[in-house]
Structure 1
């Protein structure tokens, strides 16, 4: 039977990755991680955290090291590979995919720390798991000789239970800095990001979300922890585009040029999971009665939801190509933010349609459709995927720019 949850450009009999990964993420290891995550998906949803074996499988697949600089043993991988692998794992367990994707993304941010701070994180190997809470900044960071004193609480720190480090964004406490104190002079304006060992934060069991339950996105408290200068960076510098001739696109790109597409990838996998489960239901003949899929209305649901999900895959693929072709171009960022937000809306609509038409099966507490429905809505609620902000950034372009082909597209 046709597997409507998989991209239609290549029929697959089982899990597989497109050839374009080019070895930057180990295909066999990603498939093993997806299968391990699928076996433990129900337990992760129930326990509100991933199984240790799934975390190990995600590390072995290369998520944590994906964007880590090569000098520390990392891959300096591309956006397209990560989006593909994330969606694949999410087709089995969106919570596992969410954590794996963020562990990769946070490695890209940590690569903006001073050299000695990077050495502290990756000197023993590139598979360091890094959690983060960057938006909105919280707590306070007070400059002191040699570094900072950090206090406060940060919410929604995904995967923190298994992480080795946590990146925390905090406003700078406006206290004058005496002569000779490092950093010399007043701290640069705006929030700073401070890297704190997991052992120095207190994790609070606060994650009670409707969806992505297995991410363990708990709150963390920090009480007067000293963070040396080598583990601190202005938030603006960490998130901005930086032109570095010869560097990989990921090292140069801003946080927003591919952040939305990366965050949307778990929802793409969740929608495929919903469609796969819904299709099995629709194609089954219960107690000798005709299968639901024989009804024209049900066929329209399949066609429209399948097309919307495939359209999102194409949008995210184009966004990744654009980010890698022009990682510092403001227009690419505007287009990608727009496309990621619209993609999230399309996925919500597709999964809503499946949920509404899936009968009692879709509403059962063991249903994959119901779990994927919760996960898709939760991903789409992320601030980066809301259309209002991205639409404003896109509308800032002139009329000629709106209709102009992007540089990486044929003219």
Structure 2
């Protein structure tokens, strides 16, 4: 397992984010000092090559760091997670693209829009791209956006990713979710922008994890194995935050048997969820990409989402009315966990049902 020092720094980020979490929830925006702390901690550079000043870190360390941040603020953990993994996705760009993104700093903050909602045409030296992408988390403070679009080729259209500097896209504030309010998951609009060839690559490479530019292990991982981890780890961290908030709300009070059962079961569910996401990270670090293990990764992520939603619901029930006070962080963690766990990557119909029959019985 890598040890870049990210985890102990993440614990400091968590403490700072917790101080600003109530304000961030109210204003729907992370405090500038929290964004700076995430960047300085090394999340954006975690998977970047050392040749560009990056950390070349691993998935287990990354997962533990995201969970740590999530205990303080789920929105901060979500953005930290995506900043690291978006940079990993950008490593599929040609080498000139790496130079443009990281030549000046390994801490370039990149955001990703995976659905192929744009349209592009081939032109001399690259493509012209237009499109509109919703729910692009962290875009308020992004330096670059990695967006996906369909390209007309004369035959079957192909899906490609395009890397765009901040000046080439517009942000429309459209995120109004009840939870994860400070993730800045807004809409990105691109209007007939030229994207040079070195800032584009095939979506098929992203899905397969076969990186033609970098041979670093973390840059060659199938998306199926890693996708759910992106969103499950922040939710697990937030569930721990909810547990601490619930026990704080009950401190000094007489706890009845029903409340004790809820606390006991919730703590076990959250620990089990952590085990499952760390099991996923271990698969990624050990590079054991068999169909069965990749299906297990998707199962783990979806089951984790179910588990933490149930656990936090029990914590709210145990804490009672005081836990639902607007001044209580418990209700914020509850909203955040439910919102995070609703992500399409954490649904059984998109993950487990799609992969398990083939992986287990050879369909």
Answer yes or no: is the 8 Å Cα contact 2:241–2:333 preserved in 1. yes
Please give the alpha-carbon distance, in whole angstroms, between the structure 2 residues aligned to 1:150 and 1:36. Answer: 39
In the alignment, what sits opposite 2:360? 398
Is the contact made by 2:263 and 2:318 (CA closer than 8 Å) also made in structure 1? no
Equivalent position SS for 2:350: helix
1:372 aligns with 2:333: yes
Is the CA contact 1:82–1:262 (under 8 Å) kept in the aligned structure 2? no
In structure 1, what is the equivalent of residue 277 of structure 2? 316
Which residue number in structure 1 is paired with residue 118 of structure 2? 139
Secondary structure of 1:138's aligned partner: strand
Deviation per residue, 1:283-341 (Å, 9 max, x gap): 323xxxxx2x2x11111011100000011111111111112112543322111001110
CA distance in 2, matches of 1:318, 1:306: 18
Q: Which residue of 2 aligns with 1:258?
A: 226
Aligned counterparts of 1:327 and 1:192: Cα–Cα separation in 2: 27
Work out which of the residue numbers 166, 186, 199 in structure 2 matches 1:218.
186
2:252 aligns with 284
Distance 2:7 2:316 in 1: 32
Who is 2:9 aligned against?
Answer: 29
What secondary structure, in the 3-state scheme, does the structure 2 residue paired with 1:388 have? coil
Listed as ranges, the gaps of 5+ residues in structure 1 are 1-19, 177-185, 286-290, 402-411
Of 87, 95, 102, the match for 1:122: 102
Matched, 1:355 2:316: yes
Structure 1: 4+ residue segments shifted above 6 A? none
CA 1:58–1:279 in 2, change beyond 3 Å: closer, same or farther?
Answer: same
Q: In the TM superposition, what is the alpha-carbon distance from 1:247 to its structure 2 partner?
A: 4.2
Deviation at 1:271, TM superposition (A): 0.7
- Distance in structure 2 (CA, Å) of the matches to 1:132 and 1:25: 25
Aligned to 2:241, which of 273, 276, 285? 273
- Cα distance in 2 for partners of 1:247, 1:233 equals 16
Aligned position for 2:150: 171
Contact 1:29 1:57 in 2 (8 A): no
Q: Residue by residue, what CA displacement relative to the aligned partner does 1:213-243 show, whole Å, maximum 9, x if unpaired? A: 0111110111111100000001111231328
2:23 to 43, 47, 52: 43
Query: Pick from 158, 171, 174: which aligns with 1:190?
Result: 158
Match of 1:383 in 2: 344
Distance 1:398 1:133 in 2: 31
| Structure (1 or 2) with the larger CA radius of gyration | 1
Q: Cα gap change, 1:397/1:27 in structure 2, threshold over 3 Å: closer, same or farther?
A: closer
TM-score (norm 1): 0.84
Equivalence for 1:90: 70
> Which structure dedicates a bigger proportion of its chain to strand?
2
Structure 2 unpaired stretches of 5+: none
| Partner in structure 2 of residue 150 of structure 1 | 129
* Mapped partners of 1:25, 1:225: distance in 2: 39
**Alignment partner of 1:384: what SS?**
helix
Mapped partners of 1:70, 1:113: distance in 2: 17
CA contact (8 A) 2:6 2:62 kept: no
Q: Tell me if the contact between 1:99 and 1:158 (Cα under 8 Å) persists in the aligned partners.
A: yes
8 Å CA contact 1:252–1:328 kept in 2: the answer is no
RMSD: 1.8
Which of 42, 52, 55 in structure 2 is aligned with 1:62? 42
Deviation at 1:152, TM superposition (A): 1.4
